[in-house]
Structure 1
């Protein structure tokens, strides 16, 4: 589900987030959603994954859980064919310091350039139509597990990596990346179950 103005790669998305943070001391979920577009389901998942992965941001207690709720609400609305994304104010007003956000974005620039060279429209049938809805369901399962991932060391990073891969697969219409994302999800799920059992 692509809209005009949606980013088609990670570097474009990071630039949109950077623009949304301009001139603010703190940047809210609402600011970021406005930056990437309130009808952009794929970019929202990608943003949630990137922020969970980014140093100084994803390590803040509660941030992975809040981002999981954003993903859950966003993709739930995709499954019900909503045209725009609605996020309750108690989530949309949550914020992070601008300096930490910008440092995280700087850290992500190099991996973004690398990933953009290796992603693009491939096996598109896995990233559109039924494939898109299947990715949405898997991402929602990852999002539901985020509170548990905050307890198991490093598993939130795995969840963030999976969401990033799924979000990029949606943005770039890359079915091969969707397969990689599914594998990341399975490994992260195993880590969470093993960590909780131990």
Structure 2
């Protein structure tokens, strides 16, 4: 039986959608259909971990998208919705292709190591809790965009939490939660280090 590759499939769809000089966010999200909430959540989470995060305010927009999608997940909405100002955001095609190449290598590894285990952590009542964690973490991205690595760590954490739900792998959800906690602690660590140097 052929092994499923959900993360690689998501990255491939992103790459296949980029055909013009610029691609709109709604075209990327629309590639997964109107009822695919988890893949739609994974897209901005993966993008914020990619080189595209170097584009000014890109991480903040991804953070807002993650919050909106995750909140819909909390309330069990199957059809994701995003406002026009996010859906019409354009991404440069060349940079998006380069980002998918980087993400593709990671996606292959993620698909190889995911398994259905500790499913009680990612199914049933646990799912709204995970969506809420994703929303709370992503809400900090606009505030932490200037803190090195913090946005990418949050994006990685949300990606792992969502992949955990998609692949029914509770281990991934735990690792994703640890990533999110690390990202939230990073600004305090930097502030403490800076204060120590000034004293």
TM-score computed with the length of structure 1 as normaliser: 0.90
Q: Deviations over 1:32-68 (max 9, x none)?
A: 111122322211222112101111x011111111111
Where does residue 19 of structure 1 map in the other structure? 16
SS for the counterpart of 1:27 is: strand
Using the alignment, how far apart are the partners of 1:18 and 1:162 within structure 2?
A: 22
Displacement of 1:8 after TM fit?
5.4
Where does residue 6 of structure 2 map in the other structure? 9
Query: Where in structure 1 do 4 or more consecutive aligned residues deviate above 6 Å?
Result: none
- Return closer, same or farther for 1:120/1:176 CA change in 2, 3 Å cut-off: same
Using the alignment, how far apart are the partners of 1:143 and 1:65 within structure 2?
A: 9
Contact preservation (8 Å) 2:37, 2:78: no
Where does residue 181 of structure 2 map in the other structure? 186
Using the alignment, how far apart are the partners of 2:8 and 2:90 within structure 1?
A: 22
Where does residue 197 of structure 2 map in the other structure? none
Give the number of aligned pairs.
190
TM-score computed with the length of structure 2 as normaliser: 0.89
Where does residue 68 of structure 1 map in the other structure? 63
Structure 2: stretches of 5+ with no match in the other structure: 195-199
RMSD: 1.6
Structure 1: stretches of 5+ with no match in the other structure: 1-6
Larger relative contact order (C-alpha < 8 A, sep ≥ 6)? 1
* Equivalent in 24, 35, 38 of residue 39 of structure 1: 35
Displacement of 1:107 after TM fit?
1.2
Displacement of 1:196 after TM fit?
5.3
Using the alignment, how far apart are the partners of 1:174 and 1:137 within structure 2?
A: 18
Any residues of structure 2 matched to 1:102-121 within 5 Å, and which?
A: 102-121=97-116
Q: Based on CA coordinates, which of the two structures has the bigger radius of gyration?
A: 2
Where does residue 87 of structure 1 map in the other structure? 82
SS for the counterpart of 1:96 is: strand
Contact preservation (8 Å) 2:45, 2:66: no
Where does residue 128 of structure 2 map in the other structure? 133
